[in-house]
Amino acid sequence: MPRYKLTLEYDGTRFVGWQRQANGLAVQEVIERALFAMSGEIVVIRGAGRTDAGVHATAQVAHADLSRVWRCDVLRDGLNAHMRPHAVAIILVEAVDDTFDARFSAVRRHYVYKLRNRRAPLTLEADREWLIKRKLDAGAMQAGAQLLLGTHDFSTFRDSECQADSPIRTLEQLDVSREGETILVRVAARSFLHRQVRSMVGSLEQVGSGRWTPQDLRAALDARDRKFCGTVAPAAGLYLVGVDYEDTPG
């Protein structure tokens, strides 16, 4: 049975998240409906990252098994036509062998979180960035971020509904930089706990605003207790921007 790797982007604002749920429309469901419209098959796809409601993606990866061979460009264009008017687009379709799994073959996931640091309200980016009106010190945020790198028990930054077997994760990248009004937080790891990125960003905002020192952030990590986490950053600023596999540069 031919397997296809799908690279896609979406605006998560009006979705309940990536994964099919009973309480609303999911990105997964939109793609599966389009696959049925094209092929007549009921196909369940697997995604590399189960993004939450309101979270966006510029390079989510999924795979689908179909009973017939499709030309990749025809499959891409057909799916995009059938997904209209939903804010989901297949960027690339590739034929892969059946050992490829969008979720379990991934060796690294990349996220970017966007904060807009200004007094004026957001207009064009209202559902795409987190507006912070008080002045943020990106340098202090970067200093604190470096204290979270490596392998740790991230219980402090783990949502209470997280179903992972272990709170231990290895954080490979956590970098904070400013580009004008926008502060970007770039994060990479093989896997993350539920809402770990948004929890870390919310705590980094505490450092940037001067409410915490970088050492306070490290102390929160070491406490291994959810009650020491800062405010969880809203979903709107978070983007899944890349998934690495063995043949992808890290």
Looking at the structure, tell me whether residues 20 and 60 fall in a common domain.
Answer: yes
Looking at the structure, tell me whether residues 50 and 126 fall in a common domain.
Answer: no
Could you tell me the CATH number of the domain that includes residue 36?
3.30.70.580
Residue 218 and residue 206 in contact, taking contact as beta carbons nearer than 8 Å? no
Quick check: is 250 in a domain?
A: no
User: Chain-wide mean pLDDT for the chain?
Assistant: 96
Structure tokens at 2: 């031919």
Single out the residue in 43, 73, 96 at which a domain terminates.
96
Q: How many alpha carbons fall within 13 Å on the CB side of residue 201?
A: 29
| Residue 1 clears pLDDT 80, i.e. is over it | yes
Looking at the structure, tell me whether residues 118 and 237 fall in a common domain.
Answer: yes
Looking at the structure, tell me whether residues 201 and 151 fall in a common domain.
Answer: yes
| Residue 247 clears pLDDT 80, i.e. is over it | no
Q: Can 52 be counted among the known catalytic residues?
A: yes
| Residue 250 clears pLDDT 60, i.e. is over it | no
Looking at the structure, tell me whether residues 225 and 119 fall in a common domain.
Answer: yes
Buried/exposed 100-117: b ≥16 CB within 10 Å, e otherwise: bebbebbebbbbbbbbbb
Looking at the structure, tell me whether residues 123 and 63 fall in a common domain.
Answer: no
pLDDT per residue as tens digits for the range 174-219: 999 999 999 999 999 999 999 999 999 999 999 999 999 999 999 9
pLDDT per residue as tens digits for the range 8-39: 999 999 999 999 988 999 999 999 999 999 99
Least confident of 63-72, 156-165, 186-195, 204-213: 156-165
> What pLDDT does 139 receive?
98
Looking at the structure, tell me whether residues 112 and 92 fall in a common domain.
Answer: no
Work out the percent of the chain whose per-residue pLDDT is above 90. 94
**Overall domain count for the chain:** 2
Among the options 11, 52, 73, 175, which is catalytic?
52
Quick check: is 182 in a domain?
A: yes
What is the domain extent for residue 206? 108-244
Could you tell me the CATH number of the domain that includes residue 130?
3.30.70.660
Quick check: is 124 in a domain?
A: yes
Residue 179 and residue 140 in contact, taking contact as beta carbons nearer than 8 Å? no
Residue 221 and residue 152 in contact, taking contact as beta carbons nearer than 8 Å? yes
Looking at the structure, tell me whether residues 214 and 120 fall in a common domain.
Answer: yes
Q: Mean per-residue pLDDT for 94-117? A: 97
The pLDDT-based confidence of 161 (bands split at 50, 70, 90) is confident
Q: Mean per-residue pLDDT for 102-126? A: 97
Looking at the structure, tell me whether residues 169 and 66 fall in a common domain.
Answer: no
Looking at the structure, tell me whether residues 83 and 116 fall in a common domain.
Answer: no
| Residue 129 clears pLDDT 90, i.e. is over it | yes
The pLDDT-based confidence of 248 (bands split at 50, 70, 90) is low
Single out the residue in 75, 96, 117 at which a domain terminates.
96
pLDDT per residue as tens digits for the range 83-101: 999 999 999 999 999 999 9
Work out the percent of the chain whose per-residue pLDDT is above 70. 98
